[in-house]
Amino acid sequence: MVQISIDYTGTLHCDAKHGPSGSALATDAPADNQGKGEAFSPTDLVATALGTCIATTMAIVAERHQVELKGMTVQVQKEMASDPRRISRLTTQVHIPLPADHPQRALLEQTALGCPVHRSLPAEMERPTEFFWEG
């Protein structure tokens, strides 16, 4: 179990602290929803969670197979629906510094699509993922 402590600091800002490490981050409401967009919004953190989860789980599996993924990049584009306000789509692009014919390609792609965050998102949220093998 992990505890995250959140302090509302006013003007739609929050400070969050990760219990085990003490690491901190700030959030703000987005500019299109009464905020100033001065930090990640809560829904930005969902997109961030998806992208970092994909990268992390792929790296875990790659290490088991002595495959180096250093230099991999992930971009996540978040789209919002307005009624009700929610994340409607997270489009992900994963750029992998390995050749397209790499023997672990299928395993790594399946790992990305099965990461815990991906599996935790609701089925009605669109989550297209594209892989670019660039080695």
pLDDT tens column, 1-24: 999 999 999 999 999 999 999 999
Claim to verify: residue 70 and residue 93 sit in the same structural domain: yes
What crossing angle do the helices spanning 105-113 and 42-64 adopt, rounded to 10°? 150
Here the CATH number for the domain that contains residue 51 is: 3.30.300.20
- Over range 24-28, report the average pLDDT: 97
Claim to verify: residue 21 and residue 79 sit in the same structural domain: no
pLDDT tens column, 29-76: 999 999 999 999 999 999 999 999 999 999 999 999 999 999 999 999
pTM higher than 0.85: yes
Contacts of 127 (CB under 8 A, 6+ apart): 50, 89, 90, 91, 92, 118, 121
Q: Give the pLDDT of residue 15.
A: 97
Total number of domains in the chain:
2
Claim to verify: residue 22 and residue 58 sit in the same structural domain: no
Claim to verify: residue 27 and residue 65 sit in the same structural domain: no
DSSP string for 54-84: HHHHHHHHHHHTT---TT-EEEEEEEEEETT
Q: What angle do CA 50, 55, 60 make, to 5 degrees?
A: 125
In 10 A of CB 62, how many CB atoms? Answer: 20
Q: Give the pLDDT of residue 6.
A: 98
Claim to verify: residue 29 and residue 83 sit in the same structural domain: no
Q: Give the pLDDT of residue 67.
A: 97
pLDDT of 131 strictly over 90: yes
Claim to verify: residue 96 and residue 52 sit in the same structural domain: yes
Claim to verify: residue 70 and residue 116 sit in the same structural domain: yes
Containing domain of residue 92, as a range? 42-133
Nearest one of 58, 133, 67, 65 to 100, comparing CA atoms? 133
Partners of 96 in the β-ladder: 133
